[in-house]
Amino acid sequence: MKSILIKTLAFSLIAVSLWSCKKDEDKVVANVSAAGTLAASNTTVALSTQDAAKTAVTFTFPQATVTGYQVPVTSTLQFDLKGNNFVTAKEMVTTATTYSTTVADLNKMMLSLGATIGKPAELEVRLKSAAAANLPTYSNVITLSGTPYLASAWIYVPGAYQGWKPETADSLISLTGNGIYVGVIAFTEGNFGFKVTPAKKWDVAFGDAGGGKISTSGGDFSAPSAGLKTLTVDLNANTWKIEDTIGWGVIGDATPGGWNADTDMKAINDGKGNYQVKLDLVVGEIKFRFADAWDVNLGGADGKLVDKDGPNIKVATAGNYTITLNPEAKTYILTKN
C-alpha cells in the first residue's frame, strides 16, 4: 500500500512538472527595440514667406522592430522650444521612417510653442517610440535654429460702428495662421451690432448662433457697451468672445484729460504691436501709461522711450496729432495732421 502511494505521488509530481514546462513554453514575450538615432537634413533653417511651400528639413529614423509577440508600436516626433524639456511638446505621429516639414509648417510650429516673430529661436526635436503609453523610449535630441516670420491671416468686422461697410471694416489677426483671430474694435455709443467676414465683402458672414457659438446663419453680434473691446473669434471651434480691453493710453497737460485722465489708444490689428490715437494736443507734455496706472509708464524724447519713470515728452506746437506707440520696441511717433 505504501509502495502504491509513493508511486502515485511520484507520477503526480512528474505530471505537474511537465504541465509547468508546457505552460512556460507557451509564454511569448514581445521585445520592442528602443527608439533609434534621429537625423536631420540640416539644423539651421532659413524661414521666409517666399519659401513657405519649400521643405525646411527632413528627419530620418529607423523603424522600430518587434520580436516575439507582435504588438503595434507608435513612432512620434516631439517638438518643443529649447529648455522646455518637452513639457509642452507638440507631437507628430508617423508611420514611415522619414518626415519632412515645410517652411510654413515649421514657422507655425515655432510660433505656436512661444517663439517670437523676428527673433532667433531654437527648437528641439526627438523621436518617441512606444508599444504602450507607459513604456516609451526616446532618441537623441536634435536642435534646429531659425528666426520665425510673421505668418498672419486676417478676418474682418463690419458693423454699425463704421457704417456696415466690409471694405473699410477693422480686422482681427491670427499671428500664426492657426484659425484663432484676435483684435481690438472701437465701438461707439449705440452702434453695437456687427458681423464677421473672411474677406472684405458680404459673400460669407458669420453671426451670433447663441451660447458663444458662431454660424453663417446667425444674427448680428452685439458689443456690451461702447469703447475699446477685445474680440476673439475661433474659426476652428466656431466660437467667439468679447471683453473689455486693458491697454495703453496717453496722459499729460498737453492732452484733453490733463494729468488726471488717460486718453485710450487703440491697438492696431496688424501684428506689429502698435497702438494709435488721433488727438488734439496743446503745448505741454505727455507720457504713456498702461491700464490707467503709473505702475507701467513710458517717457522719452526723439522717438525713443525709456522704461518706468522716463522723462516727459515735449509737445512744442499745438494741433491735431496722430500718436503712434510701440511699447515693445520702445518707440513713439507724433505726426501733426
Residues 327, 296: Cα–Cα separation, whole Å: 10
- Look over the chain and give the mean of its residue pLDDT values, rounded to a whole number: 88
Number of domain units in the chain: 3
8 A C-beta contact, residue 100 and residue 55: yes
Residue 254: give its domain's CATH number.
Answer: 2.60.40.3620
Residue 10 lies in a domain: no
What is the pTM (predicted TM-score) of this model? Answer: 0.64
Residue 180 lies in a domain: yes
**Same domain as 252, residue 240:** no
**Same domain as 37, residue 118:** yes
- Residue that terminates a domain, selected from 218, 244, 270: 244
- Residue that terminates a domain, selected from 82, 114, 146: 146
8 A C-beta contact, residue 298 and residue 287: yes
Between the alpha carbon of residue 206 and those of residues 105, 166, 173, the distances in Å are: 27, 12, 16
**Same domain as 227, residue 267:** no
**Same domain as 183, residue 90:** no
**Same domain as 221, residue 160:** yes
Residue 141: give its domain's CATH number.
Answer: 2.60.40.10
Residues 111, 123: Cα–Cα separation, whole Å: 11
**Same domain as 77, residue 167:** no
**Same domain as 192, residue 136:** no
> Cell digits for 214?
458662431
**Same domain as 196, residue 108:** no
Look-up of cell digits 522600430: 64
Residues 153, 43: Cα–Cα separation, whole Å: 28
Residue 5 lies in a domain: no
pLDDT over threshold 90, residue 271: no
Q: Could you tell me which of 170, 163, 153, 161 has the C-alpha nearest to residue 235?
A: 153
Give the number of residues written for the chain. 337
**Same domain as 222, residue 121:** no
Residue ranges making up the domain that contains 60? 30-146
What pLDDT, on the 0 to 100 scale, is given for residue 130? 74
Residue 56 lies in a domain: yes
Residue 228 lies in a domain: yes
The backbone torsions φ and ψ at residue 144, rounded to the nearest 5 degrees and listed phi first, read: -105, 140
pLDDT tens digit sequence for 100-158: 999 988 998 898 888 888 899 999 999 988 776 667 889 999 999 999 988 788 999 99
Residue 286 lies in a domain: yes
> Cell digits for 96?
514611415
8 A C-beta contact, residue 141 and residue 43: no
Q: Could you tell me which of 319, 268, 272, 264 has the C-alpha nearest to residue 288?
A: 264
8 A C-beta contact, residue 164 and residue 158: yes
Residue 22 lies in a domain: no
Residues 316, 335: Cα–Cα separation, whole Å: 12
Cβ-proximal residues to 123 (8 Å cutoff; 6+ apart), any chain: 79, 80, 81, 82, 106, 109, 110, 113, 115, 143, 144, 145, 146
What pLDDT, on the 0 to 100 scale, is given for residue 92? 86
8 A C-beta contact, residue 170 and residue 183: yes
Q: What type of residue is 251?
A: I
**Same domain as 100, residue 59:** yes
What pLDDT, on the 0 to 100 scale, is given for residue 42? 93
Q: What angle do CA 68, 74, 76 make, to 5 degrees?
A: 145
Q: Which residue has the higher pLDDT, 34 or 231?
A: 231
Between the alpha carbon of residue 311 and those of residues 119, 252, 300, the distances in Å are: 29, 12, 5
8 A C-beta contact, residue 107 and residue 151: yes
H or E stretch covering 169: none
What pLDDT, on the 0 to 100 scale, is given for residue 63? 82
Q: Which of 6-15, 114-123, 281-290 has the highest mean pLDDT?
A: 281-290
pLDDT tens digit sequence for 161-189: 999 999 999 999 998 778 899 999 999 99
- As a whole-number percent, the residues of the chain with pLDDT over 70 amount to 87
**Same domain as 125, residue 41:** yes
- Residue that terminates a domain, selected from 80, 114, 146: 146
**Same domain as 293, residue 208:** no
Residue 75 lies in a domain: yes
pLDDT tens digit sequence for 32-75: 677 789 999 999 999 988 888 899 999 998 887 766 655 567 78
Count of CA atoms in the C-beta half-sphere (13 A) of 53: 1
